[in-house]
A and B are shown apart, each in its own frame.
Chain A
Amino acid sequence: MGLVLVGLSHHVAPVELRERVALDPERAGALAAALGEGRAEAVCLSTCNRTELYVAAEDATGAESRAVEALRELAAEAAAELGAVVYRLHDEAAALHLFRVAAGLDSMVPGEGEILGQVRSAFEVGSTGPVLDRLFRQALHVGKKVRSETAIAESPASVSSAAAALAQQVFGALDGREVLLIGAGKTGELAARSLASRGARIAAVASRTPERARAVAERFGAQAITLDEVSRQLVTVDVLVSATGAPGLVVSAGQVAGALARRRGRPLFAIDIAVPRDLDPAIHDLEGCYLYDIDDLEAVVAESLSGRRREAARAETLALEEAERFREWRSSREVVPAIASLRARAEEIRRSELARADARLERLTDNERRAVESVTAQIVAKLLHLPTVRVKQAAATPAGAVYVDALEHLFGLGEEER
């Protein structure tokens, strides 16, 4: 059974084309079912960065044509543009590609975690059989293994996640830590959301416009306050996020110093993602205060991404090893029919010989008969065990086909009884 991958991704196709062929899970499932008709198997993986159709079929050429045609239908009037961007991979190359995708090695941000969930969703709605079932399970395993055995996914890949990771470096788990958000814009809300997703509680939202502060505060279940009330909040909060459009400083070092006296040494982590800056840079010089502005956060992200790229080399090795394992599995599958025939032939001979000896065995008790059955079955199993193991091992090598031929020739497998 051949394995075919037909697809396009952000590496080669512009977003205008990618959005045309993008599929929601329901349509991905329907297309997989259509491509998997007959004895074929199919999975459609569609994300914002890629649409890839994986098909396993006896007639690999026909399956590939059907997959390309399906993409052309999705692209509709942009079908002509597909020719230059669609890639087609076969067998082990297709498997390696999927393993790299699941590991996040083919993503814009190396090691990003979302893709693993998308691979799982595609697998769940796919029309799978033995080949794609094994392929996708192994891909999910590769994805998890790469993330647990390398540091590719450990470091933050965006300003908001870098801010949250730095806060964790100060406080550890953010559960129950209180956040004061100054500014009711999208940027600040995104950073606050990143902190909230890690367990922090958005305690208060301050803004020059009370209505906007209330709207954002409601979304977080927080208290809306005015800028005049910020000093009071500084005594209790652990993290301060500021992202206003104010032309000057919103919080001075003096305000923070005043609050520090009543904080009993608790650290304060401040994130200033406004330009021009909202928080007095001198805050960073205060004992127990850590202030990171947008440049600092972007430097952390840049370093983090370069770290991810370094880890990607190790992840590539893991993906290659798994692709080799998949190749060995597929090769061993090719000898399965020959081994099954051999075992069936041996069992058939055993039963026919027992039947011929039936007259001589009729004086045996039931227990003795069962013992004869068991002993003959064990002899057959033991005789076939080593050849079975050796043929499976050989299947993963270029000599595999020779072994299968030899097996069929020596035991007359597939020949009609004479």
Chain B
Amino acid sequence: MAELLFWPAFLAYSEAVLAYAGNVRTPGLAGRLATWGVRLGWLAQTGLLAVQAVRADGFPWSTWAGSLNLFVWLVVTAYLIWGCRPRYRLLGLAVMPLAAALFLTSRLGGGTSVGGRPRYSDLFLALHVGLVLAAFAGFTLAAGLAALYLWQERGLKRRRASVLRVRAPALATLETLTGRTIAVALPALTLGIVVGLVRLREEGGGFDALMAVTLLTWLVYGAYLLLRYELGWRGRRTAYLALVGFLLVITVRLGLPLTHFS
């Protein structure tokens, strides 16, 4: 059943990627097809996760590939909140290829199958993994928004005559959404880290490099919020900061198999 649900979800996401690319060239129908691809793919992946949850003996996404599956779902969920609007279709072009690629990677790593027994307790995994992944999904979306901001801002700075041709959100909107997304994601990361540290203390585990990078990620996004909302930083500087934070998110995700799943 899980295998049967992977392919519709993956094909729908792939269709969305192609349609988003087509929408840049000819806006309209391609954009609507892309949005429906994301919606249908998300529904199929939700079904896949539900089947995994029902059939698993414990928290079903405790492996690296499994957590990638959940991560993709969270990214697409976050994107769907405002990605359906025509002006945000360019964001889809940034987010959906990543989602489709990670989803395929998850499958190749066995993250979309059912069964398996986690090493840790359900509650710990649900809180720690769920919160950290939700935060990372938010940061991924924020990075997409920041990248779109920089692209749009560059067009305006270079006075590209075609700057109005492609429908994109206004700079102020992109900046506000980036800030809000990070403001929602950072508390989730904070809680996730706290749960992880509590468990670390209880079990007497060691503090590894990946944990240090995660804390650094927290600091970067904390600095983002402080600089933006308290010190009035705006524009390119905050967008670059959001991208720096995302690089750390990628580092943590790639480093997970080395420290947590070895």
Contact = CB atoms under 8 A, between A and B. Distances in A.
Contacts of B156: 166, 169-170, 290
Contact of B232 (A264, A292, A296): A264
Contacts of B235: 265, 267, 287-288
A172 B172 contact: yes
Nearest to B26: A314
A303 B165 contact: yes
A307 interface: yes
Contacts of A170: 156, 170-172
A265 B163 contact: no
Contacts of A150: 28
B201 interface: no
Chain B interface size, under 10 / 10 to 19 / 20 to 34 / 35 or more: 20 to 34
Interface string B155-167: 0110101111101
Nearest to B234: A265
B173 interface: yes
B236 A287 contact: yes
A168 interface: yes
B234 A267 contact: yes
B221 to A, nearest CB: 18
Contacts of A162: 164
A69 interface: no
B172 A300 contact: no
Contacts of A331: none
B76 to A, nearest CB: 25
A165 B165 CA distance: 11
Contacts of B172: 170-172, 267
Contacts of A267: 171-172, 234-235
Interface in B182-239: 232-237
A170 B174 CA distance: 10
A169 B170 CA distance: 4
B173 A266 contact: no
Contacts of A304: 164-165
Interface of A: 149-151, 154-156, 162, 165-166, 168-172, 264-267, 284, 287-288, 290, 292, 296, 299-300, 302-304, 307
Given A171-B172, A284-B157, A287-B237, 18 more contacts: A150-B28, A151-B27, A155-B165, A169-B164, A169-B168, A169-B171, A171-B170, A171-B171, A172-B172, A265-B233, A265-B234, A265-B235, A267-B171, A292-B159, A299-B159, A300-B163, A303-B161, A304-B164
16 contacts: A151-B167, A155-B165, A162-B164, A165-B164, A166-B163, A170-B156, A172-B173, A267-B172, A267-B234, A284-B157, A284-B159, A300-B163, A300-B164, A304-B164, A304-B165, A307-B162
